[in-house]
Structure 1
């Protein structure tokens, strides 16, 4: 296959492709590159109006997949060609909106550089400068190559010889990939990209019972955001959030944003507060200091009755004291007797006491004392945020919380706390990310806003079923009895989950390279990157074969050259995607997946409606994802591809039975176990099992969406007065610390446990200290509403918007910093690390970036793939500057990856 690829503009496609597609079937002429000699339509002779009859065709409902939000959309199809995409106003998922990414989906479908036929490498040499010598092969040969090489690796070295990789853009596809490899080959390895909420999800589980949470926008009056553009440009449920958030802003909601860069959130905010990267915990703890020690704006009733703050802590061991008979934590009652928490009528939130000869203080007393370090003046030296600003924000937050007030919803009296503190992945790209997320989200507990009306609530902590008469799809947080703390439901499939059980009851012996057993509070297999690079250090087995599904793993984890060496070390690499990206230069076989508009997928939002923001105004929604046009060259979906592998291996029964369990399919509705999985039939079985027979897949294809209203108790978890607390004093972290240290010593491996502590702190991460004053700048990156990291850069629509944006493919620098360095907008510069790694770009000055930073959109940009001409060499890949294989950059609690690195700026003449 040739490297010659077609570059097409948005204007050219709009003017010519619509008519050309209708007349000549442009939708299916090119597989990976343009046929030589074929001429493009004469753009000048065509107009948009000539492309198609505005009254022709039909609107077919389906689901977008241009980012992980999966909004409900409609596709206008004329004679088998998609000519327009729009939001679906009948669905709460997206609320009828379509963003720029979604509108550009039509160009993903008809991009002439898509690959639609399997390819085999013929050049054994691998590298960015090596032509793989792609050769088209049949699907039979492609499947046989995958099966052969995976089986051979497992026969040589066991199931851990194979690893799977997936991107969050297709989380259900990732589940199916993991399931298929496990069923067919017994494989258990897998890794994921840095694009995730490591630390964020865990704290949201602890505090809200579910792994995604958000301000209760429709009832909130004050929102603080740390490192997130939620509701303005990105985040889960983005198109669902913008409307209520904007409406509340119009009606007086005050919006404060902490971020080194003024992204969309900072632009929209009442107050943007730039801070030094990686210092969010310090400013959050300083806000807590002001609330507790200066303003006394805390919800003592919530802290007493809904946190474990009253727990008695042994001052010698720093461990919570438990009752010998019941095994429950002890509180001090008003009568002066220490009692199990569930027998204590008036718990004392503060104080020091003697209990059975032990000197004890309450957890809250220790927390309050712990905060004394974090004065606004102390944090100013760390964060650069003025002390007066911290005091102002803390006072505003505490006063906005309406502490002590209640409201009624559907006849239920509930606490009213219309203030919330939110955060996402901006604060997780650092070491000590768990401590940072803990410090930030704990502010909601101090003001009683956690799980309160107007406060900080989970997307989907409780579900009573998707219909009144069928509770098959239902869940609610359990209770960790020793302390009365709420457990949680898993992020995607919403099965019961308990971090406390993992900490106290699990075996800490690692079984995979992800080493998750040594991280009982982690969600992500990030540590595989480190273990793959250092198997001798961690006594792990390096994988020999990698299967990469819908991802670009060369670009998703630190320095690309380091990643390239890892991929050269694999004996065989399988790629499944639509485009030949950088990683494909290291693939041995490439299996194309069809475009999202060409495929059907069951339950795109999983069980927990992972990208649906929740709230009473957003019902339980099951949207349709159906193909709107036939797949070009018959390319399969991931479901079909992995089902084919399972069938060829004679594992249909095991594969389908596992999927049935995952999606709660009842036996009477199961698809046949002795046949290859039929995707539409499986979607049908899910709907019949979890709704009813009337609302089957045929019904859903016609009606687009099934809704069922949420109830008050599903949104506000304590609406019925159910028991349950959230942790304030994290005793379980000390339990984990001892067990992790013991296991690491037993295995003879290094492991950091300093962050396993009972109270949150700020600690300096990588790059915080300036060692060499020539290297005084910290590069940061951010996402906007038009890009999904590097996934969409090949798209002509997206590329044109980025090219028109003065900050699109440039390096943004603070105007004063630039002037001090003798630099100006338009200067070509080089960013260089102390190790000599560099990237180049063009400067653009602004007032919207911290004085010690430079900022770029999409830190993984700068494509090296000649097969993606629109993306090649566009943007500045600052993540390439970050060492990716060193353990010291890992957060050993939650598997976050520190991307802070000091650089100097050199002007290129």
Structure 2
């Protein structure tokens, strides 16, 4: 890039926020260079700089090769034990993102007061000072009117510094409304593990020792978490272990497994219950973990109740209750009628899984549990790990939060005045904790912030409308089901600030647009990654390159600048908190400006891992500079069976098949609303009543749309290339899209089984309209036997109408490349966990030839 930083800003001012849209299918790509041959003068002159890829929730440590100030190549960080030096394709796509000519280049403000999809925002450049002054003025107005609760911070992906902007800033201003994206990501999966063994988080898996694995709606060598680790170990794993994949789509994992079970979407729970039934009736449970009948005689006989006194449990609680309430009639023949999987295959998988005990993994994922009744599906999948003794055991599943030392951030209580305190007492905007939406994180009613209800709350002004929103790393009117609701809600919010790398669909409704760094290349931030390869870690993103754009770091620099602007208007609490409570761990100095605050906040949070005087179980690092060079700190390898012998943390202290932990949580929620637990079950669309609510059990799929009008089931999946739908404006994403089985490069296809296509008179390559009760999109039909009959499968990530000249066919005319699945997905929830119900065929669809 020969264009200077000043030149970039000048060009931005002249052309506005967005680059011109491209009318062609494959736009000209000359943003980087017009040369046809690479220069050799910089060979061997670069250096590797540590950073972090945040293309998914694995948050892998990587290294970036820098030559003459440019990022040119990415690889896994060899110092990282979770991904042991590997990275996946997502980290490489980041190179095209950071140098994307369609990026936001400087602060912008809206000049058209009217908001709507059809309204031109008429953005014009402004200074950072004007942007901060405008935002501060809006916040002061809320304080003067005692409406601080109508302020909200929305968070998408984030770093470990999020506790500043997302955590403490809204508290000091006086709002309970910090809204995360998490509930549209995976909370139902966490629900299953929590109410069997009390762990709310992502599990880790001992792939190195496992002998059998069942993947429920997951594609772990392509998407989900830990892809570099799983993919790198897959060859050895598949040589040693038997692998079964339960998925309506022939995924990459299914293609490389021993068993593919193309289940009817949403009916995974029937298979899981039937597997448990086989394990018990055939006496295959892992007795050293579960226990046995007192006389050694197996009394688990189909259709017959068992006396609880006849069975003595060791590490578990409630096995006989689970049998009597749920499993005694759940035969493979019963499951075959509901799941579409033959009974013989269910028997075979159940026996193989149990015979591998305790080195057998039931791998739960959002694909099978993010359904309207999916919390109980996730519980059943988690319970299988208890039956075979693989929970917290070698060759099994680690559902335990490995401790990573960090300092957190100082308590803001001394800076919360009476106005803010009153605002914090108001009901949250997201409805979490209401009767019909328990959102039971950590057993607390409303513990989960329910993202997708915010649009409904704003539209209904229930409990009130939001007036000022700061939103970062988000694109909620693209990434939430029911996008039209979000468009209308965003148009109704009087003042919204969008902090973003690229202009996107949400930017279209913003009043202020603030350019921020690309996480992988342009900022210094800590990232506490999830478990992986039996380690946990605290990575460090380094500022690999100096951006040519006029950017500020969203979680640190922008809050500091806002604090200064608020101080000028008479409210100094925020900036006082930053100045008084943060100190450089090395020098003791307080920050005096935004850049210093950014570094001090990162050093403060990570201090325990790089200061050798702190005692810790993990890597020994000698100082801040060495930590910056290494880019990661790793825990010691996890030691198994830490939760055994009464340390599960549940109400009983045991691994719970009958969940006293869930029972207590549901009772608290029911008492909060003066109703019974049965009333809660009815309000949350679950069919179970009585004690059955406390055991893992089968719930039939509930779908939106009448079968006679919408005869097929729609299911979506993720791409190997998706950086959480942020990849679509790169040519690499589009050019290599066909590495996703059944997909096409530079296109967006709906994959139909040839049998269904023949009945509909649809041929390969026809343009079709996918119609649901929620909306409609037009895409190309792809006849593909890898889709189960009766199902329409489509990848998520295309359909951007405001993301750039590659993601859109024509940005100026808002013509999308393909269709956004969220336009046609109904905005429904797995209410117990608060998770969005976007998988498992929740929405029925009709396919029409265009």
Shorter chain as denominator, the TM-score bin is: 0.7 to 0.9
- Gap regions ≥5 residues in structure 2: 22-27, 293-307, 412-424, 567-571, 613-620, 810-815
Alignment equivalent of 1:784, drawn from 691, 716, 719: 719
Corresponding residue for residue 825 of structure 1 = 764
Corresponding residue for residue 207 of structure 1 = 197
Q: CA deviation at 1:33?
A: 4.9
Alignment equivalent of 1:862, drawn from 781, 799, 813: 799
Q: CA deviation at 1:670?
A: 6.3
- After superposition, where does 1:60-209 map in structure 2 within 5 Å? 60-156=49-145, 158-167=147-156, 169-172=157-160, 174-193=162-181, 195-205=184-194, 206-207=196-197, 209=199
Q: Work out whether residues 597 and 629 of structure 1, in 8 Å CA contact, stay in contact via their aligned partners in 2.
A: no
- After superposition, where does 1:539-554 map in structure 2 within 5 Å? 540-554=463-477
- SS of the residue 1:679 aligns to: helix
Separation of aligned partners in 1, 2:426 and 2:668: 13
Q: Work out whether residues 284 and 440 of structure 1, in 8 Å CA contact, stay in contact via their aligned partners in 2.
A: yes
Corresponding residue for residue 477 of structure 1 = none
- SS of the residue 2:253 aligns to: helix
Separation of aligned partners in 2, 1:91 and 1:645: 36
Deviation string, structure 1 residues 120-167 (Cα, Å, up to 9, x no partner): 011122222221101000001111122222332354352321222221
- SS of the residue 1:82 aligns to: strand
Alignment equivalent of 2:487, drawn from 534, 558, 564: 564
Separation of aligned partners in 2, 1:652 and 1:191: 20
Alignment equivalent of 1:243, drawn from 212, 232, 242: 232
Q: CA deviation at 1:35?
A: 10
Corresponding residue for residue 367 of structure 1 = 322
- SS of the residue 2:590 aligns to: coil
- SS of the residue 1:106 aligns to: helix
Corresponding residue for residue 796 of structure 1 = 731
Alignment equivalent of 2:817, drawn from 863, 874, 882: 874
Q: CA deviation at 1:398?
A: 0.7
Corresponding residue for residue 839 of structure 1 = 777
Q: CA deviation at 1:216?
A: 1.0
Q: CA deviation at 1:711?
A: 5.4
Q: Does residue 625 of structure 1 match 2:541?
A: yes
Alignment equivalent of 1:456, drawn from 397, 401, 411: 397
Corresponding residue for residue 532 of structure 2 = 613
Q: Does residue 752 of structure 1 match 2:687?
A: no
Corresponding residue for residue 429 of structure 1 = 370
Separation of aligned partners in 1, 2:49 and 2:540: 10
Residues 187/297 of structure 1: CA separation in 2 closer, same or farther (3 Å cut) = same
- After superposition, where does 1:587-736 map in structure 2 within 5 Å? 587-605=510-528, 609-610=529-530, 612-615=531-534, 618=535, 620-638=536-554, 639-649=556-566, 650-651=572-573, 655-656=577-578, 672=590, 678-692=597-611, 695-710=622-637, 712=639, 715-718=640-643, 724-736=653-665
Separation of aligned partners in 1, 2:493 and 2:387: 50
Q: CA deviation at 1:423?
A: 1.3
Q: Work out whether residues 532 and 542 of structure 1, in 8 Å CA contact, stay in contact via their aligned partners in 2.
A: no
Residues 29/790 of structure 1: CA separation in 2 closer, same or farther (3 Å cut) = farther
Residues 214/702 of structure 1: CA separation in 2 closer, same or farther (3 Å cut) = closer
Q: Work out whether residues 247 and 263 of structure 2, in 8 Å CA contact, stay in contact via their aligned partners in 1.
A: yes
Q: Work out whether residues 813 and 853 of structure 1, in 8 Å CA contact, stay in contact via their aligned partners in 2.
A: yes
Separation of aligned partners in 1, 2:451 and 2:79: 42
Separation of aligned partners in 2, 1:283 and 1:290: 11
Residues 441/579 of structure 1: CA separation in 2 closer, same or farther (3 Å cut) = same
Q: Does residue 762 of structure 1 match 2:698?
A: yes
Corresponding residue for residue 897 of structure 1 = 836
Q: Work out whether residues 420 and 455 of structure 1, in 8 Å CA contact, stay in contact via their aligned partners in 2.
A: yes
Q: Work out whether residues 286 and 371 of structure 1, in 8 Å CA contact, stay in contact via their aligned partners in 2.
A: yes
- SS of the residue 1:841 aligns to: strand
Question: How well do the aligned residues superpose, as a CA RMSD in angstroms?
Answer: 3.7
Q: TM-score, normalised by structure 1?
A: 0.76
Corresponding residue for residue 283 of structure 2 = 296
Q: CA deviation at 1:647?
A: 4.2
Alignment equivalent of 1:391, drawn from 335, 344, 347: 347
Q: TM-score, normalised by structure 2?
A: 0.81
- SS of the residue 1:285 aligns to: helix
Q: Does residue 883 of structure 1 match 2:815?
A: no
Q: CA deviation at 1:640?
A: 1.6
- SS of the residue 2:523 aligns to: coil
- After superposition, where does 1:324-335 map in structure 2 within 5 Å? none
Taking CA–CA contacts closer than 8 Å with sequence separation of 6 or more, which of the two structures ends up with the larger relative contact order? 2
Residues 77/752 of structure 1: CA separation in 2 closer, same or farther (3 Å cut) = closer
Residues 374/51 of structure 1: CA separation in 2 closer, same or farther (3 Å cut) = farther
Q: CA deviation at 1:687?
A: 3.7
Deviation string, structure 1 residues 686-726 (Cα, Å, up to 9, x no partner): 343344256332222233334453352xx441479968422
Q: Work out whether residues 600 and 680 of structure 1, in 8 Å CA contact, stay in contact via their aligned partners in 2.
A: no
Separation of aligned partners in 2, 1:689 and 1:214: 24
- Gap regions ≥5 residues in structure 1: 1-16, 306-330, 335-345, 351-361, 402-416, 467-471, 474-491, 496-508
Q: Does residue 217 of structure 1 match 2:217?
A: no
Q: CA deviation at 1:348?
A: 8.9
Q: Work out whether residues 75 and 87 of structure 2, in 8 Å CA contact, stay in contact via their aligned partners in 1.
A: yes
Separation of aligned partners in 1, 2:451 and 2:90: 31
Deviation string, structure 1 residues 280-320 (Cα, Å, up to 9, x no partner): 11111111111112x11112342249xxxxxxxxxxxxxxx
Separation of aligned partners in 1, 2:629 and 2:537: 15
Separation of aligned partners in 2, 1:40 and 1:421: 45
- SS of the residue 1:147 aligns to: helix
Q: Work out whether residues 777 and 853 of structure 1, in 8 Å CA contact, stay in contact via their aligned partners in 2.
A: yes
Corresponding residue for residue 749 of structure 2 = 810
Separation of aligned partners in 1, 2:348 and 2:127: 66
Corresponding residue for residue 739 of structure 1 = 668
Deviation string, structure 1 residues 230-253 (Cα, Å, up to 9, x no partner): 2x1122222122222332213x21
Separation of aligned partners in 2, 1:718 and 1:525: 25
Q: Does residue 580 of structure 1 match 2:524?
A: no
Q: CA deviation at 1:333?
A: 10
- SS of the residue 1:123 aligns to: coil
Residues 735/461 of structure 1: CA separation in 2 closer, same or farther (3 Å cut) = closer
Q: Does residue 257 of structure 1 match 2:193?
A: no
Alignment equivalent of 2:710, drawn from 772, 775, 792: 775
Separation of aligned partners in 2, 1:42 and 1:119: 22
- SS of the residue 2:477 aligns to: coil
Residues 789/707 of structure 1: CA separation in 2 closer, same or farther (3 Å cut) = closer
Bigger drift between 86-95 and 518-527 goes to 518-527
Separation of aligned partners in 1, 2:759 and 2:685: 41
Residues 291/203 of structure 1: CA separation in 2 closer, same or farther (3 Å cut) = same
Q: CA deviation at 1:587?
A: 0.8
Corresponding residue for residue 420 of structure 2 = none
Deviation string, structure 1 residues 753-786 (Cα, Å, up to 9, x no partner): 8568111222234327x84434211111111221
Deviation string, structure 1 residues 87-115 (Cα, Å, up to 9, x no partner): 32233243332322211212111111111
- SS of the residue 2:656 aligns to: coil
Separation of aligned partners in 2, 1:892 and 1:41: 48
Deviation string, structure 1 residues 529-549 (Cα, Å, up to 9, x no partner): 436525798962332222221
